[in-house]
Amino acid sequence: MMGKILVRTSLIIFIMLSSRKAFDDEKIKKGKKISDELIGSIEDSKLYIIVFSKNYASSSWCLDELVKIMECHRKTEQTAYPVFYDVEPSEVRKQSGIVGEAFAKYEMEEAAGKWRVALKEAADLAGWELKKTADG
């Protein structure tokens, strides 16, 4: 449990120090297409903190957001900062290992190609690796 608290606290401190408003998408219905509000928030952001976990690639919602984030990062050079939580950057980059297993259900999806490119681009960025430890 302590590890989860540390990760959350570290990210909150990082966001506060960067003087940016964090977008909370809790009120947006899960499983629906990305809303115009969320797209607007992504476009208006100056900093993206992308937290990759073992299950990240199992969410089409997260993958759609990532495509938009990386599109904005390429076009406007907004800062994208990946955090790899208990997953290797190479697993995200190549969609292998646990990430590949999570992504496998989307192989036939029309958007799979865009998702693969976005995952690779994000994993190629310098970021922060966090490993789950015995205390949580």
Instruction: State the catalytic residues.
Output: 65
Distances (CA, A) of 62 to 94, 135, 136: 17, 28, 24
Partners of 50 in beta bridges: 82
Q: State the Rg of the chain over Cα.
A: 15
* CA–CA gap between residue 75 and residue 80 (Å, rounded): 12
55 contacts 103 by C-beta, under 8 angstroms: no
What type of residue sits at position 39?
A: I
